[in-house]
Homo-oligomer: A and B are copies of this chain.
Amino acid sequence: MSDSSNMMPHRTIIKGGTLVTAAHTFPGDLIIGEKIIAVGNDLAATPDMQVVDASGCMVLPGIIDAHTHIQLDTGLFQTPDDWQIGTTAAACGGVTTVIDFATQFPGQRLSEAIHARWQEAQPAVIDYALHCMVTDLPPGREDELDELIELGVPSIKLYTTYRPNYYADDATILRLLKAAGERNILTTVHCENDALVTAATQALIEAGETDLPNHGRARPALAEVEAVHRVLFLAQAADAPVYIVHCSVARSVQQVVEARARGQVAFAETCPQYLLLDASAYAGDQPHQYILQPPLRASENKEALWDWVKAGAVDVIATDSCDYTLDQKTACGELAESTCGELAESTCGELAESTCGELAESTHPDFTQTPGGLPGIETLLPLMVSYGVAPSRLSWPDLVRLLSTNPARIYGLYPIKGSLAPGADADVTIYDPRGSSTLTASTLHGIAGYTPYEGFPVQGHVKMTFSRGQTVYRGGEFRGRPGHGKFITGRPYRM
């Protein structure tokens, strides 16, 4: 009996808060079980209900981080955050769904990649969905995309860079855009011109200028601008929707707007790091913390990017989170040395392979040997409240739109996710906007051991997180359990 009551989701009434949807902010109560049951004013609590007092708080549909890299294995490096750790940090940050990646390794069927990733994700404490990173789908195998639809993975990811493992040339991108579009699969693309990045990197290597502060010079803004332009034109030719991940340059977003004005269906994503950090970080004393692709940009770009966010031109803010530890960020050279044989699948410095012989002589940190990526899932919501809503760059509905409803809608999770409407999954985040504190790695739950936002003041805090009606975070402590998280089927995108 007690067992069964444990199995049954408790019903909870969240009273007195301000409910936020992508459209509305209104005072109201919420009754939830595993699903949202009712939204209303002065709803009555019954004895079986847990009562949560949300007065003074914002009650949001659970945050969806549409771009994460949990437990990323690139061959050379593996982020040490398994799915339990990674999703625990998410839950503590008010995130109730992550959309991560299933990487197709060479030779795999796409469905194998999905199944393999499902295995890894078993310990997840919150729900997740997947994009499929397509790396090896030659002509004739496009029908495998049908399996993605059947498996509930309606989006693929392509790269214009990272030879040889991830790189897709124009013909491949065009072919897959078209094949995906015909199946209502959304193609997402990492846009940096490979030739420009490779040549700039090679020039720095030849000049012996690979110390960390030069990271940004290896990946100039124009490499991104060029690739975004090209991918948008390929999508236009393919008559297919396209989603540009992690736009780091304001002009990338502008080009997405221009594509829409030509009648295209095109989405723009940006990340907190491009809105809040800039290239001056490379001149600081912790440059390794900021090695990522694309790199941080010139300072004036930040506000220009915010202007596009404010203009409604950005569809999604997601993290591109990647929890390398400080040890990994600083000790890459040694690791590389010891694993030179395994470099084939490396993305940690696409040039690692060719310089393997020289690694022994490496005497100081080198951006080509430093794994790229920043942790960020847990800080996503507090940062966007503090630097988006608090200074009135965003309204609360804007925030919910960018961090929950749009990702859900674009990736076919909606209205199960991204919504407070009756019938939706009871993924709910309660944010208390009162008070302020300072971000510091020691209070975060990820494994990276640092945060690029160390010392950033934030407004308010996550008070509670519900995942399908279960309390997974409360009172500053994680309350969930491994394995609670389920894979969520995405439905095919329709233009």
Contacts and interface: CB of A to CB of B under 8 A. Distances in A.
Interface of A: 19, 21-28, 37-41, 43, 169-171, 173-175, 178, 193-196, 198-200, 220, 222-223, 225-226, 229-230, 233-234, 236-237, 250, 254, 257, 260-263, 265, 303-304, 307-308, 310-313, 392, 397, 400-401, 405, 414-415, 419, 421-424, 494-495
Contacts of A220: 237
B41 A423 contact: yes
B257 A311 contact: yes
18 contacts: A21-B21, A22-B23, A23-B397, A23-B400, A23-B405, A24-B405, A25-B415, A170-B195, A170-B196, A193-B234, A196-B237, A223-B237, A230-B230, A260-B308, A261-B311, A263-B307, A392-B494, A392-B495
A263 B392 CA distance: 12
Contacts of A263: 303, 307, 310
A236 B229 CA distance: 15
A379 B237 CA distance: 35
A39 B40 contact: yes
A24 B23 CA distance: 8
A422 B422 CA distance: 13
A23 B312 CA distance: 14
Nearest to A495: B392
Contacts of A303: 263
Given A26-B421, A257-B311, A261-B308, 8 more contacts: A19-B421, A22-B24, A28-B421, A28-B423, A38-B41, A174-B195, A226-B230, A260-B308
Contact of A38 (B27, B40, B308, B495): B40
A35 to B, nearest CB: 8
A397 to B, nearest CB: 8
Given A24-B419, A194-B170, A237-B200, A39 B41 contact: no
Contacts of A422: 26, 28, 39-41
Please indicate which of the listed interface residues A170, A199, A423 has the most CB atoms of chain B within 10 Å of its own CB: A170
B234 A195 contact: yes
A186 to B, nearest CB: 15
Contacts of A265: 310
Given A26-B422, A28-B421, A260-B311, A195 B173 contact: yes
A222 B233 contact: yes
A353 B38 CA distance: 62
Contacts of A171: 194-195, 198-199
Contact of A237 (B174, B222, B233, B494): B222
Contacts of A424: 26
A393 to B, nearest CB: 10
A41 to B, nearest CB: 4
Given A230-B230, A237-B220, A424-B26, A313 B260 contact: yes
Contacts of A175: 199
A21 B422 CA distance: 13
Nearest to A19: B421
A137 to B, nearest CB: 15
Contacts of A199: 171, 174-175, 178, 237
Contacts of A254: 261
A335 to B, nearest CB: 28
Nearest to A31: B40
Given A22-B23, A200-B237, A310-B260, A38 B37 contact: no
B313 A261 contact: yes
Contacts of A26: 415, 419, 421-424
Contacts of A25: 415
A39 B37 contact: no
A387 to B, nearest CB: 16
A397 B24 CA distance: 13
Please indicate which of the listed interface residues A25, A173, A199, A200 has the most CB atoms of chain B within 10 Å of its own CB: A199
Contacts of A257: 257, 261, 311, 313
